[in-house]
Every structure is written in C-alpha cells, then in structure tokens.
Structure 1
Amino acid sequence: MGRLLLNRLGGLLTTLLLSSVVIFGSLYLAPGSPENVLFGSRAPSAAARAAVRHQLHLDQPLPVRCWDWLTGVLRGDLGNSMVTGQSVADRVGTGLGTTLLLVAVSMVLVVLLGLGVGTVAALRPGRVDAAASAATSLSVTVPPFVASTVLIEVFAVKLGWFPSSGVQPGLAGHLHALLLPAFALALASCGFLAQITRNALREQLAKEHVQTALVRGLPRRVVLRDHVFRNALPPIITAAGLVTAGLFASTLVVESAFAVPGIGRLTIQSVAQKDFPVVQAVALLLVAAFVVCNAVSDLVQALVDPRLRTVGRTS
C-alpha cells in the first residue's frame, strides 16, 4: 500500500509539472500580446509598451518566464492579476470555497441518485429497469447549460423555489442557493454513474458463485452485500472519481449560468479579459483536481480490493 501511495504521489507531481509547462506555454504562445490588455483600445508609444513589457517580464525569454512562474507557484506566489493588480491567490481563493461546496453538493446528489437508480435497475429487471435505463440514457445527453436554463426557468422563475443567480449569506443560504446549480451540474453524471452501477451489479449477479449461493439458500441480503456489491465496487469507484473530476470542469458553464461567484465564473471572466495569470492558476487547479480525484479513486480501490495492493508492491 505504501509503494502504491508513493507511485500515485510521483505521478501526481510529474503530471502537475508537465501540465504547468504546457499551460504556461500555450497561453503565452497564443496570438496577441498580453500587455494589450492594459492598453485596451489605446495606441501606446513604443517606450510605454517597452516599459510595460519589462514590468511584466515579457522581454525575457519564454523558458526564463516559465521557470520564474514555476518557482513562484512552489512558493505559493501565483503572481498578480493583469486587470485588477490583485494577487492571483486572493482572487482564486475568494471563489474557491464556493466552487468546492458546489462540487461537494453535486457529488452527494450524484452518489445518492446514481447509486440508487443503478441499484434499483439492476435488482428489478423488467419495467423498472427499462424505465430507469430510459431516464439515465436521457440524462447523460443533457448538457449542463441546457439543464441550467431549464431549471432556472422552471424552479427559479415560475415556481420561485430557488434564487436564479448568486448566493446568499451563511451556510444555509449558500446551500439553498447552490442546490439548483448543483443539480444542473450533477444531472448528466447521475445518469452515467447509474449506468455503471447497473452494469457492474448485473455482471456480478450473473456470476456462477452468486447463483450457487442463492440456490443453496443463503439469505439474499447477505449474498448481495458480500458477493455482489463488494465485487462491483471497483468500476463504480473509478466512475465516481472520473465524475468528480469532470464536475470541476463543468463548473465553468454552470457557475456562469447561475452567476455563482466561484472559480468557474472567474475563469470565464478572466479568459474574456485575457487575464493570463488568473487563467493559468485556475487551469493548474483544474488539472490538480483531476489528478487528485483519480489518485484518490485508485487508493480507495486498493483499500476495497486487496489484489490491487499486491500489484502496488510488485510493480
């Protein structure tokens, strides 16, 4: 288990390092010049442009700028916003808690609805399974921006049960305001996890040893717990890790639709303003979230399945 943890940690650091280089290079190699953000529609003199480029270290070679940014990230210094001059860490940190809460609420909905619907569909073949399969097949095809539009129109505008935008003060206010965007964020993922759960449980139910245990008269509850659900957990855990990572990326759309002041909305605004330091920081956070979610998924699978711990020792 220790070797597996070290392998995942090494993979995490390597991925973050390579991603940082790619993120930095892709932004600064894009068409246009970053200092144009500060000048806007004005036509600066050559001296003014040179002074701003020197202040932003744009007159240095790209590898030097990349190295300075990487070492700054390691020190916790993400630079300053090119638009507001505020520290990038402060700008990102202001909305990070809201985004984490939104993803957490969405993941609770995904687990409850996805596992529940998938389990019912697997254990109740026939009409129940067909209805559940139809519902999940429909949900996975609904993009987050479509779900956001429909939910706002129905539950915020017509029924008035939830606010259509922003958040409210206090934890209870935050949860009430985030419940609608969380459902929009979780809808497609619920269907995906339900399909994975149904298929994994159906596969285990068809195993010979499960059928033998049922024929011998073992209680169905015990067989489901010890032989079906436990052996079906690995693919479900993998799917849950992928879903959690995907939720962070989908916040860009949902937070913009509901005007939620999180890092997803901040990213859209920063891209529109060409605020490169903020975009870099958020992109790195999204990559980190994706890698961490997958690493945690692997570790949880190793705890559930001892065979994976053996693989970690022999690799």
Structure 2
Amino acid sequence: MSFLLKRLAGLAVVLLVASFLVYGLLYLVPGGPMAFLLGNRSGTPEQVAAIRAQYRLDDPFLLRYLSWLGDALTGDFGSSLVYRQEVAALIGSRVATTVLLVGYATVLISAGGIAMGLLAGLRGGRLDTAIGVLSSLFLATPPFVVGVLLAIVFSVGLGWFPVFGPGEGLLDRLYHLTLPAITLSLASAAFLARITRASVREELNREHVETARARGFGERHIVRRHVLRNASIPVVTVTGLNIAGLIAGSVVVENIFALDGLGSLFVRAILQRDFAIVQAVVLVLVTAFVLINLLVDLCYSALDPRLSR
C-alpha cells in the first residue's frame, strides 16, 4: 500500500508540473496569447475584449492558471473559438476512436512482438535469423510509409479493408481500424520482439537454469518457471513505453487514414490556433502517459515484490 501511495503522490506532482507547463508554454508565444488566439487576424476591439474576458487575460498569470486547473479537474476545458463548442464535448466525441486504435495496436504489439521474440529466443537457428531480418525491416520503415503501402495494397488493390473513416459500432470500427492499428504497431512489435528475444536468451544462460537442467527438470518446466517470469520485467518495461509512444504515434496514423480522433483534432487545433483545444488535448495525453507508467510500476511489483520496497 505504501508503494502505491508513493507512486500516486509522485504521479500527482508530475501531473501538476505538466499542467503548469501545458498552460504556461502557450503564453511564451511571441506577442503573448492574444497573438496566438488572433493569428493573422487583427480583430475588432469587441472581439479582442471578448477573447480577453473568455481567457481571463487581464488577471494575474498564476490566478489564471489556478482557475484553469480547477476547471480542468472538473472536466471543463472551456470553449473552442473555431468550433463554438465545449472542448470537453469535442474531446469526448473523438476519444473513443483514439482509445480503440491504441488498444487494438497494443494487442497486436503484445501478441505479435512477444510471440516472435519467444520463438526467436527459444528456437534459434533460421527462425531466429528470419525474425531478426523481419524486425529490422519493420523498424527501418517509417509509419507513414507503412500506412500508404497498406492502403495501396489492401484497400485500393485488394479491396479488403476501407481506406478512410472510423466506422460505426464496435465491430465495424475494429474493421475500419485494422490497417491503422497494423501501421501503428509494426515498429513497436519488432522492437518488443528483439527485447523479448534478448531477455529470454539471457535467462536461458543463467546459473539457476543450468542447475534446474542438471536436476532433471523438463525444458517446458524450466521455461515456464524460471525463464519467462524473470524475462518478463524488461518486456513489461518496453511494452509500457510502446503503449505510451502509441499515443503520440496515433497523431500521424489518424491523419493518414482520416480518422476523427484526438490526434487529428490536435493537429487541426494547432493549425487553426485553437488555444483551448491544444491545452486540453495535451493535458489528456500527458495524463494517459502518466497512468500507463503507473500500471507498469504496478506490474513490476506483481512480478517481483522486491521492487516495491
């Protein structure tokens, strides 16, 4: 319990600092927030006054930050200047697409990466070489190139999958998100496969494994009881980092496949200088990143209780 409380306290501090940076960095734009909000428009005195009132720009900076943070904690991120809607509603209507995309890609990464790594580490030989070459190819190919190639082959050429849009309903959405999820997961799955292979090979050569073999235990028992558990800690680390990286990678993939998720909303908000949406989306993504790190820490303590001391 003390381990969990320490982690929660640390993550609360990280989120507080992150929220301050998210709110404050946009005020470092040359000309201040008004230059960011107005863009190339001059704005009438009435419009300028309305914007200053909406964002409380006449108040001291710290007071503005605390007011914004208090509203954000209740789910109120203000209103969008471009869409004329509540930012929370805009995020809520798009977050499901991003969550499904990241979740789908996570399943592909975990299943594919760990399976390939185990096969390469336990079998060796030509299979190990083939998986190594394949993982190198996946790691060397940028996601936008993979996305375009998959769309050309499986959408335009074979017609197996749709090219654009998130679909409707769970099954239809998963069908529409198959190519984007593969695009998002290939490089991460290849990296996870390498880490899994290296961890398994290292554990296979440890002294306690040799001792278990000398005592006559079967290879399956040795792998299950002595290799997989000890090799899982670096695998969990890389998996957690990959999932966190998927949140950032989804920005590119959503734009390739015209998915109306948080990534595409974020890009449009930057281009349109929509102040409130940029702040809200960054804060949501940082929060998700922090929560994933917390889950990784909890997995550590479950795999090896000594790490929670």
TM-score normalized by the length of structure 1: 0.93
Maintained 8 Å contact 1:238/1:294? no
Answer yes or no: is the 8 Å Cα contact 1:102–1:178 preserved in 2. Answer: yes
The answer as to 2:259 corresponding to 1:265 is: no
Rounded to whole Å, the distance in 2 between the matches of 1:237 and 1:286 is 21
Greater alpha carbon shift after TM alignment, 39-48 vs 142-151: 39-48
Q: CA deviation at 1:136?
A: 1.1
Equivalent AA in structure 2 for residue 258 of structure 1: F
Q: Which runs of 4 or more aligned residues in structure 1 lie more than 3 Å from their structure 2 counterparts after TM superposition?
A: 32-48
Whether 1:216 aligns to 2:215 is yes
> Does the 8 Å contact 2:29/2:35 carry over to 1?
no
Describe the shift of the 1:297–1:48 C-alpha distance in structure 2 as closer, same or farther (beyond 3 A). closer
- Residue 140 of structure 2 aligns to a residue whose secondary structure is coil
- Contact 2:80 2:86 (8 Å CA) reproduced: yes
- Alignment correspondent of 2:7: 8
Which residue is equivalent to 1:135?
134
Cα root mean square deviation, aligned: 1.7
| Corresponding position of 1:61 | 60
Query: Aligned-pair distance for 1:59?
Result: 2.6
Contact 1:34 1:274 in 2 (8 A): no
1:75 aligned partner? 74
**1:185-208 residue CA offsets vs partner (Å, 9 max, x unmatched):** 001110111011001100100001
Q: Deviations for 1:74-118, whole angstroms, at most 9, x for unmatched residues?
A: 222111112122111100011111111111110000011000100
> What SS does the aligned partner of 1:140 have?
helix
- Whole-Å separation in 1 of the counterparts to 2:260 and 2:47: 35
Deviates more, 1:112-121 or 1:26-35: 26-35
Look up the SS of the partner of 1:98 in the other structure: helix
Answer yes or no: is 1:125 the counterpart of 2:129.
no
Aligned pair count reads 309
**2:92 match:** 93
> What are the ranges of 5 or more consecutive residues in structure 2 without an aligned counterpart?
none
1:217 to 1:242, Cα distance in 2 relative to 1, 3 A: same
- Name the aligned partner's letter for residue 291 of structure 2: V
Q: Deviations over 1:163-212 (max 9, x none)?
A: 11102211111000001100000011101110110011001000012122
- 1:116-174 alpha-carbon deviations (Å, 9 max, x no partner): 10000001222111111111122122222121111111111111111111022111110
Identity %: 46
Structure 2 distance, partners of 1:291, 1:51, is 35
Counterpart position of 2:280? 281
TM-score (norm 2): 0.95
> Bigger CA drift: 225-234 or 36-45?
36-45
Unaligned runs of 5+ in 1: none
Whole-angstrom distance in 1 between the partners of 2:39 and 2:305: 59
Aligned mates of 1:199, 1:89 — CA distance in 2: 44
Asked if the contact 2:39/2:273 (under 8 Å) is kept, the reply is: no
Letter in 2 for 1:306: P
Closer, same or farther in 2 for the Cα pair 1:51/1:89, shift >3 Å? closer
Cα displacement (A) at 1:280 = 0.8
What is the CA–CA distance in structure 2 between the aligned matches of 1:146 and 1:300, rounded to whole Å? 34
The answer for the alignment partner of 2:168 in structure 1 is 169
1:158 maps onto 2:150 in alignment: no
1:1-44, Cα deviation, whole Å (9 max, x unpaired) = x1111111111111111000001111122135555677665543
Distance 1:41 1:298 in 2: 46
Q: Which residue pairs with 2:190 in the alignment?
A: 191
- C-alpha distance in structure 2 between counterparts of 1:46 and 1:65, whole Å: 22
**8 Å CA contact 1:237, 1:297 repeated in 2:** yes
- SS state at 2:254 partner: helix
**Counterparts in 2 of 1:307 and 1:40: CA distance versus 1, 3 Å:** closer
| Distance of aligned partners of 1:280 and 1:51 in 2 relative to their CA distance in 1, 3 Å threshold | closer
Is the CA contact 1:106–1:183 (under 8 Å) kept in the aligned structure 2? yes
One-letter identity of the residue aligned with 1:8? R
Pairwise CA distance, 1:282: 0.8
For residues 246-257 of structure 1, the aligned pairs below 5 Å read 246-257=245-256
2:279 aligned partner, one-letter code? Q
CA distance in 2, matches of 1:212, 1:157: 56
